[in-house]
Amino acid sequence: MPRHRDPELEKRVLDAAQKLWRGGGDKTLSMRGLARAAKTNTPAIYRRFKNRKDILRALLLRKRREMYEGLASSSTLEEAFEHYLDFALRDPRGYELYYAHQYELLRHWRPGGAGQTEEVTPGFFWIQRKLAERFGGAPQDHLPLCLAIWSLAHGTASLLISRAMAEELAPQVRAASRKAFHALLREAEERGGARK
């Protein structure tokens, strides 16, 4: 009798992988442990994923989609900036996973380069489009400002996640970051939008 494919298995495997990752990162994500956590067996996992790297890629794509959906649901750039920080702080391990395994894609990505698609960083392209809507011009005209915003948001998120400072300073760091973000937008507005 042929086996029936379990449509929920992939979701269970990825949910279990995400939970294991949150518990301890790379070292906790073994195929055997994953099978146990997903209430299945390793052959069933290998039928859906080639290897551990394939599972990590699927987790990365899930996190990317989650981040993008939050940005895209924002009505303003200011709201998107706050969403980005909330996304990172709500699930620091997930944020770590996103950047730890996205580096392979990002290393070959050149914003505005020929043949570059939104697939690698859809949030980046979303911000460029929002900047063009707000300040005029084409999305690629806002590349320098978009890079500055991304650097500010990622740097702030990474600093807050690292807990490299006294906990009571975290609200001040976030407030200073917000102020710097507003200053970037104000400067862009004064210059007529596209930063050269």
Average pLDDT over residues 168-178: 96
Check if 1-49 and 59-190 are the same fold: no
CATH superfamily to which 59-190 belongs: Tetracycline Repressor, domain 2 (1.10.357.10)
Helix axes 92-107, 52-72, angle to 10 degrees: 100
Alpha helices in 108-142 (DSSP H): 122-135
Residue spans per domain, the chain: 1-49, 59-190
Q: Express each pLDDT in 54-112 by its tens digit.
A: 888 888 888 888 989 999 999 999 999 999 999 999 988 888 877 776 655 555 555 55
- The reported pLDDT for the residue numbered 117 is 55
Query: For the chain, what is the mean pLDDT?
Result: 85
Largest distance between two CA atoms of the chain: 71
- The reported pLDDT for the residue numbered 1 is 42
Average pLDDT over residues 122-143: 92
- The reported pLDDT for the residue numbered 170 is 93
- The reported pLDDT for the residue numbered 99 is 78
- The reported pLDDT for the residue numbered 12 is 92
**What span, in angstroms and rounded, lies between the C-alpha atoms of 149 and 195?**
12
Query: b or e along 102-122 (b: 16 or more beta carbons within 10 Å of the residue's beta carbon)?
Result: beeeeeeeebeeeeeeeebbb
Please state which architecture CATH assigns to domain 1-49.
Orthogonal Bundle (1.10)
Average pLDDT over residues 27-45: 90
